[in-house]
Copies of this chain bind each other. A is one copy, B any other.
Amino acid sequence: MSYANQWYVPRDGLTLLPDGGVTSAAGFKAAGIHAGFRANPQKLDLALVVADEPCAAAAVFTQNVFCSPPVMVSREHLAASGGVARAVVINSKVANAATGDEGLRRARCQAAITAEAVGCPDDEVLVASTGVIGVQLPLENFEAGVPQAAAQLAATPNAALRAANAIMTTDTQAKSCAVTFDGGSFGFPGQVFTVGGMAKGSGMIMPNMATMIAVLTTDAPLASPDLSVALKAAVGVSFNKVTVDSDTSTNDTCILLSSGAAPGSAQTSDFAESTPGHAAFTAALTAVCTALARAMAADGEGATRLITVNVTGAATPEDADLAARTVANSPLVKTAVYGNDANWGRIAAALGRSGARFRAQDVSIRIMGIPVCEGGLALGFDEDEALRRFEQPEIAIDAHLGAGSAAATVWTCDLTHEYITINGDYRT
């Protein structure tokens, strides 16, 4: 089973594709090649995703003050094209961040070179870069590599996998996923739509690397504003709920393209905001984003386990997020999971300092389903049974605050010796 598919959470009405990815939806091709950004010729380092026709597009970007030139250029292009895109070009190894005006010029060249190879206006190309901060992009790698990638474009699972490989930095696994859903629930029975994508990132901030990047594609016909609404909703409960080492990088980019090329495709209006079609699409997109996000957390730097923190009973959604995020970011909670230690005191301490409003005596906590704290007090539990449950690849922490009905889920990974080794090394 593909790596991201391992972390897929089944949902009614959706079918997971065994080899799904960024080319599963009709109308998209991809390629991943070695273009010389990396020294090792075996390593892919340039990904190209191209739509057969101009697409409706939407994107969300990093909120970091240090936002990188590729982010600025992609924002500009989406605005200039009115939400239309034909291609996405991504390199690894060099993030083109903190590179100033020269970096901005080079990001524009990256788009222009791609536009020429694909045959579209510059502003229909979106760009992303990931890797070392403070180094200028070598444009010659795009000049030679992009035409070569364009010549290899294919709609096969293998092409999608190569593209997903080309955007990896410290990721140990390529992350691709796709689902299909049927139009029956909104009046088009038998009409099948696909949503797929790829992502990279084994921390929201990499070492001296930067970036989480995701490219998502669909053949459901959505207009750009509707894509944008669906993307924000899906990202809000998936990529934005992942934390490996605390937060967003300078380059975080998540792009969604709609070809509308599903065979016998339904009318665009059926996917407009607030329609049943939009809801069905958003659910499918959320499922794909969640699988990719969970895969990112599970593949966090040095991780041995995925940690899922569920907070329920919060006074507000903001409180729920704050509480879940504080637990997920706690080095003490993360090292306890690494040590197979059902240490609820560390969870309680993190909840207590999170800023979420609740009373200690109303809190209950379960670890892997085992009640360990009730009414703010310790519960006796079977330590051997807890140890057995820690052998699972996913560790569930559930905290009920008893302060309301809001809930949030945040994903992270354990904090290990290997994380220190990866991030404590000299830059190389």
Complex CA distance for A63 and B376, rounded to whole angstroms: 16
Complex CA distance for A343 and B132, rounded to whole angstroms: 10
Shortest distance from the beta carbon of A415 to any chain B beta carbon, whole Å: 6
- The A221-248 residues at the B interface (CB cut-off 8 A) are 245-248
The answer to whether A315 has its CB under 8 Å from any CB of chain B is no
Q: Please, what's the 1-or-0 string for A360-384, where 1 marks a CB less than 8 Å from any CB in chain B?
A: 1101000000000101111000000
| In the complex with contacts A329-B246, A349-B210, A353-B248, A423-B335 CB distance below 8 A | yes
Residues from chain B with Cβ under 8 Å of A377 in the complex: 98-100, 134
Q: Contact: A352 with B66, CB < 8 Å? A: yes
Shortest distance from the beta carbon of A404 to any chain B beta carbon, whole Å: 15
The answer to whether A1 has its CB under 8 Å from any CB of chain B is no
Complex CA distance for A36 and B423, rounded to whole angstroms: 42
Complex CA distance for A377 and B245, rounded to whole angstroms: 24
Q: Contact: A205 with B426, CB < 8 Å? A: no
Q: Contact: A67 with B360, CB < 8 Å? A: yes
Q: Contact: B330 with A245, CB < 8 Å? A: yes
Q: Contact: A345 with B65, CB < 8 Å? A: no
Complex CA distance for A70 and B345, rounded to whole angstroms: 17
Complex CA distance for A360 and B68, rounded to whole angstroms: 10
- The A81-130 residues at the B interface (CB cut-off 8 A) are 97-100
Residues from chain B with Cβ under 8 Å of A350 in the complex: 205
Q: Contact: B426 with A208, CB < 8 Å? A: no
Shortest distance from the beta carbon of A244 to any chain B beta carbon, whole Å: 9
Complex CA distance for A230 and B99, rounded to whole angstroms: 46
Complex CA distance for A100 and B363, rounded to whole angstroms: 12
| In the complex with contacts A348-B66, A377-B99, A417-B421 CB distance below 8 A | yes
Q: Please, what's the 1-or-0 string for A317-347, where 1 marks a CB less than 8 Å from any CB in chain B?
A: 0000000000001111001101111011110
Q: Contact: A373 with B208, CB < 8 Å? A: no
Q: Please, what's the 1-or-0 string for A384-428, where 1 marks a CB less than 8 Å from any CB in chain B?
A: 000000000000000000000000000000011101110111110
Residues from chain B with Cβ under 8 Å of A99 in the complex: 377-378
A97, A329, A341, A352, most chain B CB atoms within 10 A? A352
Q: Contact: B64 with A353, CB < 8 Å? A: yes
A244's nearest neighbour on chain B, judged by CB, is B331
Identify A420's interface contact among B343, B345, B415, CB under 8 A: B415
Shortest distance from the beta carbon of A66 to any chain B beta carbon, whole Å: 4
Complex CA distance for A332 and B246, rounded to whole angstroms: 9
A66, A248, A341, A349, most chain B CB atoms within 10 A? A349
Residues from chain B with Cβ under 8 Å of A63 in the complex: 353
Q: Contact: A246 with B331, CB < 8 Å? A: yes
Residues from chain B with Cβ under 8 Å of A339 in the complex: 423-426
Q: Contact: A330 with B246, CB < 8 Å? A: yes
The answer to whether A216 has its CB under 8 Å from any CB of chain B is no
Identify A65's interface contact among B245, B250, B338, B358, CB under 8 A: B358
| In the complex with contacts A67-B360, A345-B97, A378-B134, A205-B332 CB distance below 8 A | yes
Identify A133's interface contact among B135, B207, B329, B348, CB under 8 A: B348
Residues from chain B with Cβ under 8 Å of A180 in the complex: none
Residues from chain B with Cβ under 8 Å of A259 in the complex: none
- The A133-169 residues at the B interface (CB cut-off 8 A) are 133-135
Q: Contact: A65 with B420, CB < 8 Å? A: no
Chain A to chain B: the 8 pairs with minimum beta-carbon distance, closest first: A133-B345, A134-B378, A339-B424, A335-B423, A66-B352, A65-B352, A64-B352, A338-B424
Instruction: Knowing that A98-B376, A100-B377, A331-B331 touch, tell me 20 more A-B residue pairs with CB under 8 angstroms.
Output: A63-B353, A64-B349, A64-B353, A65-B352, A65-B353, A66-B349, A66-B376, A99-B378, A132-B345, A134-B345, A134-B373, A134-B378, A208-B341, A210-B349, A248-B353, A338-B424, A339-B425, A339-B426, A341-B425, A415-B420
Which A residues fall within an 8 A CB radius of B? Answer: 63-67, 97-100, 132-135, 203, 205, 207-208, 210, 245-250, 329-332, 335-336, 338-341, 343-346, 348-353, 358-361, 363, 373, 375-378, 415-417, 419-421, 423-427
